[in-house]
Amino acid sequence: MSKHTPKPVRRKRMQRTIPIPSNVVLVDNPAALQALTVMRDERTKPAEMRAQLARLTSAIMPELMKDLIWSINSLNTPLDIAQGTYQGRRVTLVPVLRAGLGMLDTALGFFSDVRVGFIWLGRDEETAEASCYGRNLPPNLKHDHVIILDGMVATGGSTIMAVNILKQAGATDIRQLFVVAAPEGLAAVGQAHPDVMLYGPAVDERLDDRKYIVPGLGDLGDRLYGTE
């Protein structure tokens, strides 16, 4: 080997100390982690937060889509017959307001047969308990892939409430896309709804005494929309 031959670049794998629960698919590809890195940075302003949340959504969604039902059917190209991949079931996306709204436009772009329902939840500042302020869900959810879009799984209370609402409305196949989660919240969701899979790029260390995720990224709704 000549002395000018470049040394191979060592790819460092991230050290993971927290075990990932079985209800979580960790989507820690570099595209997702790069977007999350910008979102975590306290200097990032709302417009950039929204742009990075869209990127993050587009990095996670293809992994979630692998677990949906697809059907393979023939189609005619201008030259011959090819095998096409088509949605096997309708998809209903359910952004949880406010933060989940930032994922909606990007998520919509991945599906041809798709509807949207809305759930508006808020956490009490003192108790961190979730309350439902409103909902608007499409009918006949039973045979749909229902995908909740929400940013943070902190205590897990919001996810559990959203899933309860969707199951009461008839949904049977429910998944959630998230930005950052805490181990406590994932465990709570896993216990309440072991049938629901969650997809996201990072499981952080813990909750602080205000039930915020540490290190996390702060209050996602406020950081996306410039409120406090």
153 contact choice in ligand URA, ligand PRP, none (CB below 5 to 8 Å, kind-dependent): ligand PRP
Site for ligand URA in 108-167 (CB under 6 A): 152, 154
165 contact choice in ligand URA, ligand PRP, none (CB below 5 to 8 Å, kind-dependent): none
Q: Does 28 qualify as catalytic in the annotation? A: no
Long-range (24+ apart) CB contacts under 8 A made by 220-225 are 220/99, 220/151, 220/152, 220/179, 221/98, 221/99, 221/151, 223/39, 223/44, 223/46, 223/49, 224/46, 224/49, 224/50, 224/53, 224/98, 224/99, 224/102, 225/46, 225/98
Angle at 21 between CA 16 and CA 25, to 5 degrees: 80
Q: Does 195 qualify as catalytic in the annotation? A: no
Q: Is 49 in the site for ligand URA (CB under 6 A)?
A: no
Distance CA 148, CA 175 (A): 6
Q: Does 127 qualify as catalytic in the annotation? A: yes
Minimum separation from the CB atom of position 96 to ligand URA (A): 11
Q: Does 219 qualify as catalytic in the annotation? A: yes
Site for ligand PRP in 89-118 (CB under 6 A): 96, 98-99
Site for ligand URA in 165-224 (CB under 6 A): 212-213, 216, 219-221
Amino acid (one-letter) located at 215: P
Minimum separation from the CB atom of position 222 to ligand PRP (A): 6
Are 163 and 141 in contact, with CB atoms under 8 Å apart?
no
Residues in contact with ligand URA by the rule CB under 6 A:
152, 154, 212-213, 216, 219-221
Residues in contact with ligand PRP by the rule CB under 6 A:
96, 98-99, 121-123, 128, 130, 150-158, 185, 211, 219-222
Q: Which residues are catalytic?
A: 123, 127, 219, 222
